[in-house]
Amino acid sequence: EVLEDIRGVVVAAAPYPVKVILETSELTQDEKVIACTLAKVAGAAFVKTSTGFSKSGATVEDVKLMRAVVGEEMGVKASGGIRSYDDAVKMVQAGATRLGTSASVAIVKGSEGKSNY
């Protein structure tokens, strides 16, 4: 059922890319693997760690897992809790191709932004 739902959105949105948000802080490792697999099979362009409204944001471990599951064919967006240049570098090194952060100016300047996590 989830696969068909995602696929339906992918078809309806074509030619625009679809991003599937997992809310990784609420999922088990197995659920993360299943969600990434379903997103990939359905033809989504990206998987994203979180909405920014949950108890925590992106972790290096989650980004590594997501990258391992979806391979190089899909984008991985790390979002939430990325507050510094070092945080950003760690996420990219873990496999993120995009970052979602409200501290982008602070990151570019090399300082640290305020955290809600």
- Which pLDDT score, from 0 to 100, does residue 114 have? 62
In terms of pLDDT, which residue wins out, 65 or 105?
A: 65
- Letter string b/e over residues 13-41, b meaning 16 or more CB atoms within 10 A of that residue's CB: eeeeebbbbbbbbeeeeeebeebbebbbe
Instruction: Name the pTM for this structure.
Output: 0.89
The backbone region for 76, taken as left when phi is positive above 0, alpha when psi lies in -120 to 50, beta otherwise, is beta
Residue 87 resides in a domain: yes
pLDDT tens by residue, 48-103: 999 877 888 899 999 999 999 999 999 999 999 898 999 999 999 999 999 999 88
d(CA 69, CA 96): 13
Domain that holds residue 102: 2-109
d(CA 98, CA 49): 11
Task: For the chain, give the mean pLDDT.
Answer: 93
Residue 75 resides in a domain: yes
Whichever domain contains 45, its CATH number is 3.20.20.70
* Percent of the chain residues topping a pLDDT of 90: 76
Instruction: Tell me how many domains the chain contains.
Output: 1
